[in-house]
Structure 1
Amino acid sequence: MAQSPDQIDTAATPPPPSRGEVVTHANRLSIRGDWLLSGYSELRAVVDGLPDNLHDSTDISELGRVDTAGAALLVELLGAQVLAERANGTDLPGEKRALLLAVASAMSNRNDPKRPATNPFVAFLAAAGQRTEALFELLRLLLGFIGQTLAALAFNLPRPSRWRVTSFVAAVQDTGLNALPIVALLTFLVGAVVAFLGATVLSDFGATIYTVNLVAFSFLREFGVLLAAILLAGRTASSFTAHIGAMKVNEELDAIRTLGMNPIELLVLPRVLAMMVSLPILTFVGMMSGMIGGAAVCALVLDISPTQFIAIVERDIGLKHLLVGLAKAPVFAFLIAVIGCLEGFKVSGSAQSVGEHTTSSVVQSIFMVILLDSVAALFFMEMGW
C-alpha cells in the first residue's frame, strides 16, 4: 500500500528527546531522561543546583539517550568510580554502558567538583606530604644518577682510548674561559662592596686596618668559591639542561642508544670533568679579583697602600684559608654539572618541558651549592680549619 508524504515524514522523524532530570528521594538520586548536548545548559543548571550530600544511592536505570557531554556531566555529578559501578550494575544497552565507562575512565583523574570540601588543614598536610615525597624522589634520582656517572667515570679512566678529549676541551672553553670575565668583574665589585662595609663599621672602633683581614678571609674561604659556583649554576647548568633536553626532544638520545653508545659517557662525563677543572680556576680568579677590589677601596678610602695590603695578608692570613676555599670547588662543580645533566635527561619531549627543567636545574644547583657551603662552613669551624 502506498504511503502519503505526511506518513513518510512522520515515520522518518525521530521522537523528540525527553528532558533529562534528576529526581531526589531521601538521599537517593534517580537519573532520568535524555542527557544530550542539546540540553547541556539546562542539565548544567540542574547539576550545579544539587547539594553535595545526595550521592549515597543512585539509580541510572531510567537513563535515556546520552552522549559524551551528558556522560561528562554525570561524571561531575556522581564521580567517575560511582558512575562506572552504576553502569556495570544496571541493565543498560551495551553501547550506552560502553560510552559511560569510556567517559568515566577518561575523567577518572579529575577532581570531583561535587565532592564535599576538604578540611583546609587536611589539605595542607596532604600537600606537604606530596612535596616531601617529591623531594625524596628527586634525591633518589640524583643519587642514582651520581652513581651512574661515577661508574662510567671509573670504567673510562683506565681506558684512554675512550676519552672524549675534544668534547672535554670544548666544555672547558664554554664553562671556564667564556665565564672568566663575568666572574672576575662580579667578584671585583663584591670585594669593593665588602671593603666599603668593613670600613664603615670598623671606623666606629678605630680598627679600619682590619678591613684587609675581612676582605681576605671572606673571599679566600667563602665568597670566591660561592660566587663562582652560583654564576656557573645559573650560566652553565642551564646550558647543560637545555642542550641535553633539546637532544631528547629531537630524539638524538634515542639515536645514540641505537648506535650502541652510552649517553652518560658521551654527554655527561666531558661536562662533569670540564666543570671540575674550570670551577677551581674560576674560584682562584674570583679570590684574587675580590681582594683586588678590596685593595682598591682600601687605597682610595682608607689610605692603605697595595704594598701594605699585601703585607697584612701575608702576615695574618694563613695558606689554609686558600686551600679550604679551593677544596670546595670540585665538589660544587660536580654537583652543578650532574644536576644540570640530570634535568636535561628528565625533559619529557616538549619545548615547555625544556624551559621548566632548565629553571629547575638552576634552582636546584644554587640551593645545593649554598646548602653544602653552609655544612662545610660548620664542619671546618668545628675542626678548627
Structure 2
Amino acid sequence: MTAMADFQRVESDSETLLRFTGDLSLASIGDLPERLPGVAPVDRIDLAGVDRIDTVGAWMIHRFATARDVPVSGLEGDEAQLYEQVARAADQPVVAPAPDYGLFLRIVAETGEAVISAFRTLHGLLGFMGATVIAFWNVFTRPRRFRLNATVQRFEVVGVSALGIIGLMSFLIGIVIAQQGAVQLKQFGAEVYTINLVGRITLRELGVLMTAIMVAGRSGSAFAAQIGTMKLTEEIDAMRTIGVSPMEALVVPRTLAAIVMMPLLGFYASLIAIIGGGLLCWISLDVPPITFVQRIREVVPLTDLWVGLIKAPVFGAIIAIAGCFQGMLVEGDAEQVGARTTAAVVQAIFLVIVLDAFFAVFFSGVGWI
C-alpha cells in the first residue's frame, strides 16, 4: 500500500529543509497543495524520502519551489529526469493570443497578406520564366538534348486529345452567341448583323480565349499534377543527381507543345464556333449557308484572324509555365499536389484574361480594330 504524501519542516543550524515523504502522485497527494502555501520560509526542498513521483507531483513541487525561489534536491534517475522535463515545460513562455483589432483591421491585414503573397508568386513566376528561356536556349544550342518523343507525346495530350471537348464547347458557344445576338438585334430589324457578331467575336476573342481557358483547366492542371507527383516521389531530385536538367526534360517539352498547339486549337475552335453560329442562323434567321459564308468573308477582316493567332502562342506559354511552376513548388505531402494544381489553373486563367486585356488595348492602339 502506498503511503500518502506528506512534508515536514526540519530546522538545523545550517539550513531549514522542507522534507517530503510518501508517494507524490495524483492518487496520494491528498490536501498537500492546500497546505503548502502556509509553510514558513525554507532554504531547500528535500525529496530524498519520496517513494514515487509523477507529473502532477513534479509540477506541484516545481511551482512551490519557483514561487519561494528555493532549490530542489534528492531526486535521482528517471524521477530527476521527469522533474527536469516538467520544469522545462513549465518555464516555457506563454504566447499571448493575438489581439483582436476588429473586423475592419482583420480584413486589412488579410488583404495585405494576400497582396504580399501575390507579389511573391509573381516574382517566382518571372524567375521561372527566365529559367525556362535559358532551358530553351540550352536545348537550341545543343540539339542532342532535345527530347523529341516527350514533345510529340505532349502534342498529343495538349492538342489531339483536346479536339473533342474544345470542338463541342466552341460549337455550343457559337450557337449561344448567334442566338443571343439575334434576339437583341431583332428589336432593331438588324438580324443580318448577327453574322458580323459571330464572325468577328469568335475569330478575334472568344475562340482563342475559351480555348486557352479549356487548355488551362485540362493541360495546365495535368502539368502541375504530374510534376508535383514527381517532386513528391523524388524523381526530380534523382534526375538532377544523374545530371538531367528537369527544366529541359519536363518543362521545355510541355511549354513547346502548348505554344505550338494553341494557335491550331484556337483556329479550330473559331471555325467550329462559326459553324455553330451559321447553323443557328440557318435555322432561326433563314440565312442559307452560302450566304452566311459570303457575309463572313465580307465583314471579317483578315486582321481578326491574325489577332487570334498572335495571342494564342502567348497564352499557351503562360498556361504551360504556370502549370510547371506550381508543380515545382510541391513539397511535403499529397495535399500539396491538389492545392498547387488548383493554383495553377487559377493563375493561368487569371494571367490569360489579363494578357487578353493588354492585347485588346495594344491592337486597338495600332489600328487593328
Question: TM-score category by the smaller chain?
Answer: 0.7 to 0.9
- Residues 154, 116 of structure 1: CA spacing in aligned structure 2 closer, same or farther, 3 A cutoff? closer
Structure-1 residue corresponding to 2:67? 61
Deviations 1:253-273 (A, max 9, x none): 111111111111110000000
Deviations 1:150-206 (A, max 9, x none): 011112113221111000000000000000111111001100110011111111111
Q: How far 1:303 sits from its partner (Å)?
A: 1.1
Q: How far 1:119 sits from its partner (Å)?
A: 3.5
CA RMSD of aligned residues (A): 3.0
Query: 2:288 is aligned with what amino acid?
Result: S
Query: 1:261 is aligned with what amino acid?
Result: V
- Residues 162, 60 of structure 1: CA spacing in aligned structure 2 closer, same or farther, 3 A cutoff? same
Structure-1 residue corresponding to 2:29? 16
Structure-1 residue corresponding to 2:270? 287
**Structure 2 residue aligned with 1:275, among 258, 266, 269?**
258
Query: 2:216 is aligned with what amino acid?
Result: A
* 2:283 matches 1:300: yes
* 2:271 matches 1:324: no
Structure-2 residue corresponding to 1:134? 117
Structure-1 residue corresponding to 2:216? 233
Deviations 1:204-249 (A, max 9, x none): 1111111110000100100110110000000001100110111111
Structure-2 residue corresponding to 1:149? 132
Structure-1 residue corresponding to 2:79? none
Distance 2:321 2:205 in 1: 22
Percent identity between the two aligned chains = 39
* 2:332 matches 1:349: yes
Q: Structure 1: where are the runs of 5+ without partners?
A: 24-34, 41-58, 65-92
Q: Does 367-376 or 160-169 show the bigger shift? A: 367-376
Query: SS in structure 1 opposite 2:141?
Result: coil
Distance 1:356 1:330 in 2: 27
Distance 2:344 2:328 in 1: 11
Structure 2 length normalisation: TM-score? 0.79
Distance 2:104 2:183 in 1: 48
Q: Structure 2: where are the runs of 5+ without partners?
A: 7-20, 38-53, 60-64, 71-82
The number of residue pairs the alignment matches comes to 317
Q: How does 1:351-366 map to 2 (within 5 A)?
A: 351-366=334-349
Distance 1:339 1:117 in 2: 37
Q: How far 1:348 sits from its partner (Å)?
A: 1.2
- Residues 317, 61 of structure 1: CA spacing in aligned structure 2 closer, same or farther, 3 A cutoff? same
Deviations 1:102-150 (A, max 9, x none): x55xx86xxx33x543233332222221111111000000000000000
Q: How far 1:293 sits from its partner (Å)?
A: 0.4
| Larger CA Rg, structure 1 vs 2 | 2
Distance 2:318 2:99 in 1: 45
- Residues 245, 7 of structure 1: CA spacing in aligned structure 2 closer, same or farther, 3 A cutoff? closer
Structure-1 residue corresponding to 2:158? 175
CA contact (8 A) 1:248 1:349 kept: no
Structure 1 length normalisation: TM-score? 0.76
